Chain A
Amino acid sequence: MALGGARFRYIISSNTLGRFGLAMGEGAKRILLVEDTEVNRVVVRRLVRELNVSLEEAENGQAAVDLIRGGRTYDLILMDKEMPVVDGHEATRQIRSLGVTTPIVALSGDSLESDRDLFLQAGADEFQPKPLTRDKLINIFSRYGLDYD
């Protein structure tokens, strides 16, 4: 998809195929992963495989905002910090300015107070250092009331 000269890619992972009629638990929670690094997306995809969630992916903040502006809704957003086009702070601000109250968990490889503060000021609900592990993900899901089994 091209938009004003820029290219955005939306990825619907196999976990989300349930939304299109394949086997997936009824009422599976919808997670949006906003992450530009493919390695990290692959790992999260694998992490959620056994969990009853539907995962969509956006490669940058602009793609995430576009999905939401286009009417997509989610139960949880995992938002990376450093991304091209639009970074995590700005994407969080834009999503909140649309009136979206979906929990946003900010992710960053740095655990700087300044990063944490900027994300929380932008409207994120919490800040998690990367890399994500299965236990961390399960704890996040539990905190936001996502049934994952």
Chain B
Amino acid sequence: MEHSRQLGYMKRSLFDQGYLDEQFYQLEELQDEASPNFVEEVVALFFKDSLRLMSNIDQALEKHPRDFHRLDSLMHQLKGSVSSIGALRMKNECTLFKEHCDEQNIEGCQRSFQKVKREHAALRQKLETYFQLLRQAGPAEKATRSGV
């Protein structure tokens, strides 16, 4: 019961604080008996993939002359997978980064990217805690919209 309450509270706050959006619910609705850990698996894949993309962006930011087209393209890829898991705050920071690319504003890109990385780290920590709680709650506790 305590796990359920904690889970409900945690999930509510992830949405209330803007970390997640409706797309996360869409992922949960794809979870079923045949794919009981679908959401956690997709999120794990996202964090693995996003680290690679962010490393590529880091390298591209260091290159001279700056290739804003490449930076925009890399961030577009990152934003794509960010959107797929419903990571709203990250998505918003990715959008700002792309705007700075359009303006060829490297300082803006660098500032934005630091925010992207911070949001990434914060979301990772929160979701790791969330899935840990979910596992502790056991198979009876399904991650569903009604769990909010």
List residues of chain A with CB under 8 Å of any chain B CB. 36-40, 42-43, 46-47, 49, 80-82, 109-110, 130-131, 133-134
Interface pick from B3-11, B24-32, B119-127, B130-138: B24-32
Find out whether the CB atom of A131 lies under 8 angstroms from the CB atom of B30: no
Measured in the bound complex, the distance between the Cα atoms of B49 and A49 in whole Å is 23
Partner of A82 from the list B23, B30, B73 (CB cut-off 8 Å) is: B73
Residues in chain A near residue B81, CB distance under 8 A: 37, 39-40
Interface of B is mostly: helix
Query: B77: CB under 8 A from chain A?
Result: yes
Nearest residue (CB) in B for A107 is B80
Query: Does B76 lie within 8 Å of A110, measured CB to CB?
Result: yes
From known contacts A46-B35, A46-B38, infer whether A40 and B80 are also in contact, taking CB-CB under 8 Å: yes
Q: Mark B67-86, 1 if CB is under 8 A from A, else 0.
A: 00000010011011101110
Q: Please count the residue pairs between chain A and chain B whose beta carbons lie under 8 angstroms apart in the complex.
A: 53
- Distance A39 CA – B26 CA, assembled complex (angstroms): 14
Known: A42-B42, A43-B42. A130 touches B27 (CB 8 A): no
Bound: A109/B74 CA distance, A: 13
Q: Is B45 an interface residue (CB 8 A)?
A: yes
Find B77's partner among A36, A46, A131 (CB 8 Å cutoff).
Answer: A36
